Chains A and B, each alone.
Chain A
Amino acid sequence: MTVSREASGGDTDLVGGAQAPSAGSRPASAKTSQKRRPRHWGEIAIFVGPALLVFSAFVILPVVLAGYVSFFNWDGGGDLGNFVGFDNYTRVLDDGVFISSMKNNAFIVVMSLVIQGPFALGIALLMNRKLRFRAGFRTMIFVPYVLSEVVAGAMWRLILDQRGILNSLMIQWGIFDTPADAIGWLSDQKLVMWVMIFVLTWKYVGLAIILFLAGLQGVPEDLLEAAQIDGASWWQVQRRITIPLLGPTIRVWMFLSIIGSIQLFDMARLLTNNGAPFDTTFTMAMFVIDRAVTGRQYGYATAAAVILFAISLTAALLFMRFVMRRDNETAEKGAV
């Protein structure tokens, strides 16, 4: 199992990949010549085989099976039931709850990028300077990200409940008289999505900051010094030099953030008690689980899962093709 873990670990280490462009200008020719060298097939099989087997059995096969099941009206028991063609798909796309879940996910994607990005960039730029207790600050900022999603969701629920810690404090401070007058952070249909955005920002902004800080280490000191000698202000240095050089890191963070937002499930489910109030905070992943496990409509839910998969895949491919294209090219050429 060590073999497979190493093999897959190397492939999926996106954070490592993010740093690769800034890590330096390793000549690419060495890599290509290595590829041309004749390989021992037995060696390849030993290293790749277990990983490939596990990947096929637990990723490829379930995806294919899901595609198959989504054409049936399966209730989760017995045989697959009636073949209904694309009926499940047309019904899912006509389901008001699914459409509103899609909108919620889209809202979360946009808000995560718009709020977390600039915020994290600002903090990272500030913290990149020589500060007292810098290591301590960095750790503190990263703590929410390390916290388990379930714990974070349950914790914020306790804080934000109608009779939760926040409203209790506000009553103590004399802002409200009784819990009934206080703010329904999680029960107000207009407010709740913004509350969720706040909690998501709290939870995930640490990742963005750490990524950006790592990226900032790759910005050459001499460039900054040269700019300062030329009389550029701190702000001009950041805007003209640091941020453009941070581009690849920012784009990788955006990629992670988009995919994470589309697949948001566990923390949101805990925070909102499965889509409350009145299904307004349903995400697509919550929709899939709810329809399958509670409604026993496995065929229908699987169709929704396939749509969710297609959306994630499309978003990933489009982002790779149009936004991260330059990064991939430069990496291949071995230039910064």
Chain B
Amino acid sequence: MANMRRSGVIAALAASSALLLAACSSGGDDPAPTNSGTANGSDEPVTITWWHNATADPALTFWQTVADEFEAANPNVTVEVEGIQNEDLQRTRIPVALQSGEAPDLFQQWGGGEMVAQVNDGYLKDISAMVADDVERLGGSVAPWQVDGKTYGLPYQFGPEGIWYRPSLFEAAGIDEVPSTLDELSDAVQKLKDAGIEPIAVGAADGWPAAHWWYNFALQSCPSDVLQAANSTLDFSDECFVTAGEKLQEFIDTEPFNSGYAATSAQQGATSSAGLVANGNAAMELMGQWNVSVMTGLVDDTEALVADLSWFPFPSIEGSQGDPTAMLGGGDGYSCYVDAPDACVDLLKYITSDDVLTRFASEVGGIPAAPAAHSGITDPNLQVQAEYMAESDYLQLWLDTSYGPTVGAAMNDAIIQLFAGNAAPADIPAAMTAAAGQ
């Protein structure tokens, strides 16, 4: 059974959900919002601005409903909700808002190294005292939203990465079992190629989708304690970081990716990597739990796609030092701005409550951060993912998120150069170490 680790920015996820269910029910966190915790319990009118990354339904309507419910329960609070496109929000709107001092009270927070920088700049409210019971209830997935034992945000969803595939194409190629080891994956790739099917789609033009292949190779090549230490020390001297690149290099040399993958984007249109799999032009794609919602947006017949779409965790590598159950993942959460009123924290507590997250799981999709809310998951693939996550001994936040933007960008660039054939496996940890020293 699983350990729970929660140091640094590691997300070591979660013992059995039953255990956490118990923890939750004893915590007695009622989903109904209360204003009792606020310092100024008066009825003075308060306005909270809330920026999230949902620009389309069902999520857009869902968050508005949550805001309305919170307003109804707290008549003195007005919540102004704004949905902003994810990349604009993360790379432009939030940094500029924080820099200008005119930041929203509650805003999207991806956790990890970027949040550490925001904490160091004094932008975030330390909510540790107010959310202690919620941290307990949500379990290990809160770790990326904590710095030095203090909590600066709470996640509402947290999901693992794995390989999405089309069972019908596997069948056509004569693949009977989903690959559980790298050798089996290579066999499957060969069978698909023999059958004239593009094996794996990857949106290498966007950089990170290709980089995620290296992340998973590193996760399977490195002992968990090395990875865990690297999250905070940024020490990449262990030989396993080179081994990961060597193994990936061997894999790339078997040409498993879609033709023209170097110029393929990840999510835009039918010729993106998600589009290739969704339209049956490629058999597999390594991607996070959101991929089903991306793919359904790229086809006309959603039901046919969902009926012929399945998922398996990243294969383990034989004879490597990595933990075979280790998984890579990431999530979404919210932080309160340093000057935000306490009502912001109340709203955050309400958003991450078991009741709201259960509805989130069934209405929006995704894997809710609260284990007790897993009952709301309706998608069979997400149910499988939640089960694997519960059994994983080590869950690592996306490496680029965890190491922060500077090391993350240098790492992704170096990995891209490995794909291009311009860099050696040892160049990747070297580039990361150089970036960490800046």
Whether the Cβ atoms of B121 and A77 lie closer than 8 Å is: yes
Are B263 and A279 in contact (CB-based, < 8 A)? no
Closest to A276 in B: B205
The one of A73, A75, A162 in contact with B263, judged by C-beta atoms closer than 8 angstroms, is A162
Closest to A84 in B: B438
Per-residue interface assignment for chain A, residues 278 to 292, with 1 indicating a CB less than 8 Å from any chain B CB and 0 otherwise: 111000000000110
Q: Mark A163-194, 1 if CB is under 8 A from B, else 0.
A: 11000000000000011111010110100100
B259 at the binding interface (Cβ < 8 Å): yes
A294 cross-chain contacts in B, Cβ below 8 A: 91, 405, 409
**A162 & B260 in contact (Cβ 8 Å cutoff):** yes
Tell whether A277 pairs with B409 under 8 Å between CB atoms, given A162-B264, A164-B271.
no
Most chain A CB within a 10 A radius of its CB, from B196, B205, B270: B205
* Least CB distance, B214 to chain A, in whole angstroms: 14
Bound CA span A189–B271, Å: 19
Chain A residues lying within 8 Å of B207, measured Cβ to Cβ, are 274
Residue of B nearest to A180 (CB): B259
Contact status A184-B406, CB under 8 Å = no
With both beta carbons as reference points, the residue of chain A lying nearest to B417 in the complex is identified as A278
The answer to whether A295 touches B409, judged by C-beta atoms less than 8 angstroms apart, is yes
Question: At the interface, yes or no: B413 with Cβ under 8 Å from chain A?
Answer: yes
Contact with A along B407-425 (1 / 0, CB 8 A): 0111001001101101000
Q: Which residues of B (94-109) have their CB < 8 Å from a CB of A?
A: 95, 98-99
Distance to closest chain B CB from A164 (angstroms): 7
User: In the complex, are the beta carbons of A97 and B121 less than 8 A apart?
Assistant: no
Contacts of B196 in A (CB 8 A): 178
A186 interface neighbour in B121, B122, B260, Cβ under 8 Å: B260
Asked if B263 and A186 make an inter-chain contact with CB atoms under 8 angstroms apart, the answer reads yes
Q: Using C-beta atoms within 8 Å of the partner chain, give the interface range for chain A.
A: 35 or more
At the interface, yes or no: A161 with Cβ under 8 Å from chain B?
A: yes
Whether the Cβ atoms of A277 and B120 lie closer than 8 Å is no
Closest to A177 in B: B196
What total count of A-B pairs have CB within 8 Å?
111
Query: Within 8 Å of chain B (Cβ to Cβ): is A15?
Result: no
Q: Which residues on A sit within 8 Å (CB–CB) of B410? A: 295
Tell me if B78 is interfacial: C-beta within 8 Å of chain A.
no
Question: Is B198's CB within 8 Å of the partner chain A?
Answer: yes
Q: Is B402 an interface residue (CB 8 A)?
A: no
- Are B121 and A78 touching (Cβ within 8 A)? yes
Enumerate chain B residues within 8 angstroms of A77, measured Cβ to Cβ.
Answer: 95, 98-99, 117-118, 121, 123
**A310 interface residue per 8 A CB criterion:** no
For the complex, is B143 an interface residue (Cβ under 8 Å from A)? no
Q: Across the interface, do B205 and A273 meet the contact criterion of CB distance under 8 Å?
A: yes
**A78 and B95 alpha carbons, distance in the complex (Å):** 10
Asked whether A85 is an interface residue with its Cβ less than 8 Å from the other chain, the reply is: no
B-side contacts of A178, CB under 8 Å:
196
Nearest neighbor of A192 in chain B, beta-carbon distance: B263
Q: Does A293 contact B (CB under 8 A)?
A: yes
Chain B residues, CB < 8 A from A257: none
Say yes or no for B206: interface residue by CB 8 A criterion: yes
B262 touches A (CB below 8 Å)? yes
Interchain CA distance A163-B198 in the complex, whole Å:
13
Expressed in whole angstroms, the minimum distance between the Cβ of B372 and any Cβ of chain A is 35
B92 at the interface (CB under 8 A from A): yes
Across the interface, do B204 and A278 meet the contact criterion of CB distance under 8 Å? yes
CA distance A303 to B259 in the complex (A): 37
A293 near B413 (CB under 8 angstroms)?
no
CB distance from A205 to the nearest CB of B (A): 25
Interface string of B64-106 (1 = CB under 8 A from A): 0000000000000000000000000001100100110000000
Q: Contact check, B120 vs A276: say whether CB atoms are below 8 A apart.
A: no
Task: Give Cα A272–Cα B205 distance, bound, in whole angstroms.
Answer: 8
Known: A187-B262, A276-B262. 12 other contacts (CB 8 A): A75-B406, A78-B117, A161-B271, A162-B258, A180-B259, A184-B263, A186-B263, A273-B206, A276-B204, A277-B420, A279-B420, A296-B95
- Sample 27 A-B pairs with CB under 8 A, ordered by A number: A78-B123, A79-B121, A161-B260, A162-B260, A163-B270, A163-B276, A178-B196, A180-B198, A180-B258, A187-B260, A187-B262, A273-B205, A273-B263, A273-B265, A274-B205, A274-B207, A277-B204, A277-B420, A278-B420, A279-B417, A279-B420, A290-B409, A293-B92, A296-B95, A296-B114, A297-B405, A297-B438
Taking Cβ atoms with an 8 Å cutoff, the residues of B that contact A are 91-92, 95, 98-99, 114, 117-118, 120-123, 196, 198, 204-207, 258-265, 269-271, 276, 281, 404-406, 408-410, 413, 416-417, 419-420, 422, 438
Give the interface of A toward B (CB within 8 A).
73, 75-79, 97, 158, 161-164, 178-182, 184, 186-187, 189, 192, 272-274, 276-280, 290-291, 293-297
A-B pairs with the 9 shortest C-beta distances?
A: A277-B262, A162-B260, A78-B121, A278-B420, A276-B205, A295-B409, A187-B263, A187-B260, A296-B405
